[in-house]
Structure 1
Amino acid sequence: MGINKRFKLWIVLAAVLVALLAYGFWPRAIEVETVTVTRGQFYEVVSEVGETEVKNIYQVSAPITGYLRRIELEVGDPVVANETVVAEIEPLRSQPLDPRSEKQAVAELHAAQSALEMTQAKLRQVQNELSFAKSDLERAQSLYKDQAISEREYDTAKKIYQSLQQELQATQATLQLRKAELERVQALLDTSLVEFLPKCDCSQVFAPTTGVVLTRYRESAGVINAAQPIMDIGDAKDLEVKVELISTEAVRVSEGQKVRMKGWGGETELEGVVRQVEPMAYKKVTALGIEEQRVNVYIDFTSPPEQWQKLGHGYQLDVEIILKDKPNSLILPVVAMVREGEQWISFVIVDNVAEKRILTVGAFNGLDAEILDGLSEGERVIYNPSASIEDGILVSIKKDLSSERAVKSK
């Protein structure tokens, strides 16, 4: 009797152990998040980060080489075309002389003054001699007419007078040279001691257009060369958006296509239209050192100005250029898709079991994909499937994210 009880006890213990082992090795459902396949308006887009620009930027440059006075205008200050003085440029200032050069210039000044005085004395002497020679010539001419002197004596008086005339002209020319040399040395000394007054005969540079100061390349006073930029001026309310697209994407963009702009800091989604696709690409090196061919695309705002009036020059936006607008399309988030070889797949939940589906994709728009085949509207697809998800595995739905995604997309 005791043996039977003990046997039954062992049977019970064995059954419990088998049950525990079975429970431990029984496949458990993996918790997953899901999204629902929807049908609606699908926009095939090209996405890129854009930047606002003032449409017409006028660069003000120095018209002459000179000394630029301090720029008083600040960035953002308004200017009026042909009225507002944006810069004043003085003639170039001479460099002050060092003590040694100044002593040398003073010595040259004294020498020039002495040479001038000597030339002036020489001029007075020649003038006196010429006056006497003229009197002698007149007297000789009178005597020669009366045959009181010979022709030779008359010619001698005439040659003396003509020679003194030539000497007078040479002395006068030398006097002008001495004066010019004296003025040069005096100017050299004077300019080294000049103190420029607040008011001078400056070249004034006027604003070429009405707008605001966008950039100042120079602020402090100093020497400036001709054609060197001083500032940029433009109308900050006349904005456009520039997007640098990869050339393989730019060929799909055309003038007149609609544009959506987000991520600019405001709550409103801005709208625009493609105005221009530049015909020439350029090379750009990314932060990773990859060379890309980029094309500039320019976009005009179509949203009311009051919606984007807080934007300025150089502000960043997330731009989506709408290539195609496809109504009644089957839409699935890209994060619910997995790349398997050369094809896209997703896992649909059927009776708490993950079922692999091979997808035929029409187009992508960054967040979503247009599904042509492989799914049906309303089916639940595993969101961001992990490596442990495979065909036929048991799953349980932890949360459906369709409603949250709908709120974010608005």
Structure 2
Amino acid sequence: MRSSSRPQSPASRSTPACSAGTARRRRPIRSRRRQAGVAALPDGAVTRQAVRAPAAAAVSSPWSSPKTAGRLQEISVKLGDRVSRGQRIARIEDEEIREQVKQAEAALEVGKATIRQREADLDLAKTNVERSRNLFQRQLLPQQTLDDAEAKYQSAQAALDLARAQNTQSQARLDELRFTLENTVILSPVNGFVSRRTVDPGAYVSPNSPVVEVVDIQRVRMVANIVEKDLKQIGVSDMARVEVDAFPGESFMGRIARISPVLDPSTRTAPIEVEIANDQYRLKPGMYARVGIVTESHPNALVVPTNAVVDANGTRGVYLSVDSFAQFHPVKIGIEGNERTEILDGVAEGDRVVTTGAAGLRNGDPIVLAGGGEGGRGRGRGRASQGAGGSEAARGSVGSGSGFQGSRAQGSAVTQQGTEQGTEGREGGRGRFGGRRGGQQQ
């Protein structure tokens, strides 16, 4: 049984072969361009960190304790309050002590009056003894009477001395009671913040009972343990860079204040203290941190991002962007940090250095700015012309280019009557030609 399909014309049968050949001829060969980030060489500071160690933040945190025993009457601060040195924090009941002060003041006044009386008695006794001596010299007074007058004079002198001593004792008692009265007020020992409160009003406290803990966080102390082999690289007053987990991407600069002269025999490490100014109170006691000791610093160095330095066949260098092509330049490296590296020789200030993607480049590779380009994606579409007998247009695809200057993408179609040029794609994109089925034979 014969097939009922319509026979194809010779032109129609030759269409697929012609379209396939056209597709092969239209496929361009272009060099691959790589995306890269480019930056100009600036001047900047670069530092060398020889030692990195974990650390913990510590501060001065004295306790405010009463100097006398008694029942706590009030506490005038709460957790987190900012206090100044000498500010009143709490007060102990002081009514009993005030009454004792009044009694001591009265006893002191009695002692002063006693002194005045004894001074008067002494003056009288002195006058009597002088008169008795005068009469005794004139043989108008017996020896016994003169002896009695001198004894009374000495007794008056002793009474005055006793009254003065008692007055001094009363003054000391009064001073003690006044000092005790002052100690009923608990003051802040430092400038800082209230970090802990252990008692409430009504509790009985003693000199061994802490009431409030005050922390001074204006200057924070980072304590780190340095291994034995790194101790020779650091010294007191060396700069240190501190990073804390609470502020990722930020660093705080400080100086080494103290280095322990003794190593821990179990860990073979020596503790050091790094002091950091904390005027904005961002660092808190107990924060976990990492300390990097800066052993060398060049403030006005020619620097590049560390990821721009590559190793090509055993030679360290950077790629410069010259007319949209990568050119390798060997360089001499100075201080190499985690983020920036110092360049001593090989490039000049203002040169455009490839940063992003430098590790995958080769000398002479064409490059395109990361995130840049002159065009998007282009598509070319051609519509097949309709012939008298009607035929099916072929579809031809062209290669894509993503170069810095871009490439033109064209599509073409071959039909029974001829070819029709497709629309040109945009620069820098990918072009495709979509053929379309023509009209059916009438």
Q: Same fold by TM-score, threshold 0.5 exceeded?
A: no
TM-score (norm 1): 0.45
Higher helix share: 1
TM-score (norm 2): 0.42
Q: Which has the higher contact order (CA 8 A, sep 6+)?
A: 1
